[in-house]
Amino acid sequence: MSRKFENRVAIVTGAAAGIGKSTALAFAEQGAAVIVADIDSQAGEAVVEEIRQAGGVAQFIRCDVTIDSDVEAMVALATNEYGRVDFAFNNAGIEIEHSKLADGSENEFDRIMDVNVKGVWRCMKHQIPVMLAQGGGSIVNTASIAGLGAAPKMSIYSASKHAVIGLTKSAAVEYAKKGVRVNAVCPAVIDTDMFRRAAESDPRKAEYAAGMHPVGRLGKPEEIAGAVLYLCSDEAAFTTGVALPLDGGATAV
């Protein structure tokens, strides 16, 4: 089996569940040493154990992306243990709000922005200098199709994901000649534990979510992981500054 990321090092935030977990497992399966970062220590350690049981290499670190010293420590763990950071999947984020713009609160706005926007900014701020020093690397940030257009009743979340795309494109241009590529993935509704919890309270959500995708189903976490690994691979060496929709055709309608 191909292990195209042998002797490479990947950081994945929000890696304890969902898209982050699937991506951490995929990196490890392809031979990368993986830093599994999350605020959920128990679930994060379980992901590390799963990787190790499969013969992979991984370490867990508790990282709250709203705390700069946590992010700095996460990157330092990678460099201290493995000497480099080849790939970073900045995936940590929080759930959307469900209210019209005028009904939102300032606390909600600040919390969503701190995690979804400043969290990504903090990660790149510490990852990019390491990549520059070693001669290159690849960063993928998690945005959303909500960052590509209007998103009624989740305007704050939508604004945060538009901002992630702005950070991604700007950094991509700033560091393009230095060997650091920066891209974003923009998923639609993905079948994760987070979504299932939301659907349990209102079963109509699952039916509606599947119907918004022309393919007629939800996305799978491993499908997002596959896109992330492609964007980090040598096959994508000419790809930077892209916000890639992964949406079952939703943005094509």
Question: Which value, in Å, is the radius of gyration of the alpha carbons in the chain?
Answer: 17
Q: Is 157 designated active site?
A: yes
The tally of CA atoms less than 13 A away on the side-chain side of residue 52 is 11
The predicted structure's pLDDT at residue 30: 98
Three-state secondary structure readout of 162-229 = HHHHHHHHHHHHHCHHHCEEEEEEEECCECCHHHHHHHHHCCHHHHHHHHCCCCCCCECHHHHHHHHH
Q: Give this prediction's pTM.
A: 0.96
Residue identified by tokens 């510490």 is 126
Mean pLDDT for the stretch of residues 213-237: 96
Per-residue pLDDT tens over the stretch 149-206 = 999 999 999 999 999 999 999 999 999 999 999 999 999 999 888 777 766 767 777 7
Of the listed 157, 175, 208, 230, which one is catalytic? 157
**For all residues of the chain together, what is the average pLDDT?**
95
**Residue range 21-32: mean pLDDT, rounded:** 98
**Closest of 131, 119, 128 to residue 90, by C-alpha:** 119
> Domains in the chain and their CATH numbers?
9-188+222-245 (3.40.50.720)
